[in-house]
Amino acid sequence: MSSEEFLKGRGAQQNTSNRFLQHVYEMREEFLEFCRLEGEEAESNKTRYIPIFPKTIVNKVDSPDVGMGYSMNPYQGCEHGCIYCYARNTHEYWGYSAGLDFERRILVKESAPKLLETKIKHKKWKAQTIVLSGNTDCYQPAEQKFGITRKCLEVFLKYRHPVGIITKNALVLRDLDILKELNKHQLVGVNISVTSLSEKTRRKLEPRTASIQKRLKTIQVLSENNIPVNAMLAPMIPGINSHELLPLAKAVAEHGALSFGLTVVRLNGAIGQIFSDWIKKAMPDRAEKVLHQIQDCHGGTLNDSRFGTRTKGEGKIAEQIHEMAHLARKRYFKDKTFPRLNMELHEEYKDGQMKLF
């Protein structure tokens, strides 16, 4: 694909087939040629927001590889378009493709705040950190339009319930007022994803995300307001950003992060095909090298589903990444600790106000 044909502003360059659907939709050359001659678009590249109406919003996370017990996702699909995103596969459960559909068909759960309130008011519910979001970014561009994440944070504050946030968008600072109130009671921790210090790399890997400087500034502002920040230096992709691990750790530490986490990239399900197609178009000079190095981290395959190793990787390349991480923690995060959130207040506020008796 020539640079003129490369679909800018999106991560995926194709729509892969949905494994759950009986029929496959494809655009053939005859149709594409007809559209070209008629001066028409074969398909729209615009983002569509589609309302959905789930019965529940809080999900129990059973995976032993994920450091959270419960998560909730105000949106399914993500316009950020990160090419490596593990959440792409979940879009197939909704009847869409893990490729371009994941970035252009955003499912919106406007009932999320009410469903959250119902959940945490239930008499049998005991406070445990609920993470916004375990799957897709709660501060993706859709949040500017719908404001669902902010409404959920208001619910967490009302009921004094602990909440974690994972995002790579500076929009989180819009809600600094609520975050400061939550933090007065030690009820919030924020995870900011930073995958590279190179804007060129960032634009290729994550085309619709906040710039690196904005993310570092976000860490700084949150930290200046004493809101605990963990940096997610993930995923580490050998041959693309793994060599940046030490300078990344240094940068986030200097901007106030208290800790960092990382994963070694894995390309499960449809993501293997999507990523392979993308890198051969976006980085043709190093595509095969990168794919082979990823395979070296996962027993010779891109598709690694083994608990315990799938996010850590194995082999020499993965070992080198984890050795650098160990060195980074000793050098830049000595005597820093990410605090535990407060689980004790919620029971007193289950009715939305403190119980007097």
CA dihedral 216, 136, 238, 9 (to 10 degrees): -80
pLDDT of residue 15 exceeding 70:
yes
Average pLDDT of the residues in 318-325: 98
Tokens representing 54?
């789930």
Residue 233 burial by Cβ neighbours in a 10 Å radius (0-12, 13-18, 19+): buried
Tokens representing 127?
């406070």
Residue ranges of alpha helices (H) inside the chain are: 29-38, 100-104, 112-121, 142-146, 148-158, 176-184, 199-205, 212-224, 245-254, 271-282, 287-296, 315-332
Model confidence pLDDT, tens digit, residues 166-200: 999 999 999 999 999 999 999 999 999 999 999 99
Average pLDDT of the residues in 260-270: 95
pLDDT of residue 357 exceeding 50:
no
Predicted TM-score (pTM) of this structure: 0.92
Model confidence pLDDT, tens digit, residues 57-67: 999 998 777 77
pLDDT of residue 3 exceeding 50:
no
Average pLDDT of the residues in 332-351: 95
Model confidence pLDDT, tens digit, residues 111-133: 999 999 999 999 999 999 999 98
Model confidence pLDDT, tens digit, residues 150-170: 999 999 999 999 999 999 999
Average per-residue pLDDT in the chain?
92
pLDDT value at residue 25: 60
Beta carbons of 230 and 338 less than 8 angstroms apart: yes
Residue 10 burial by Cβ neighbours in a 10 Å radius (0-12, 13-18, 19+): buried
pLDDT of residue 38 exceeding 70:
no
pLDDT of residue 220 exceeding 70:
yes
Backbone angle region of 196, left / alpha / beta, with phi > 0 → left and psi within -120 to 50 → alpha: beta
Residues 6+ apart with CB under 8 A from 175: 149, 150, 153
pLDDT band at residue 4, thresholds of 50, 70 and 90?
Answer: very low
State the Cα–Cα distance between residues 39 and 35, nearest whole angstrom: 6
Model confidence pLDDT, tens digit, residues 61-99: 987 777 789 999 999 999 999 999 999 999 999 999 999
pLDDT band at residue 1, thresholds of 50, 70 and 90?
Answer: very low
pLDDT value at residue 185: 98
Instruction: Name the phi and psi angles at 339, rounded to 5.
Output: -75, 155
Model confidence pLDDT, tens digit, residues 226-242: 999 999 999 999 999 99
pLDDT band at residue 307, thresholds of 50, 70 and 90?
Answer: confident
Enter the DSSP assignment of 94. G
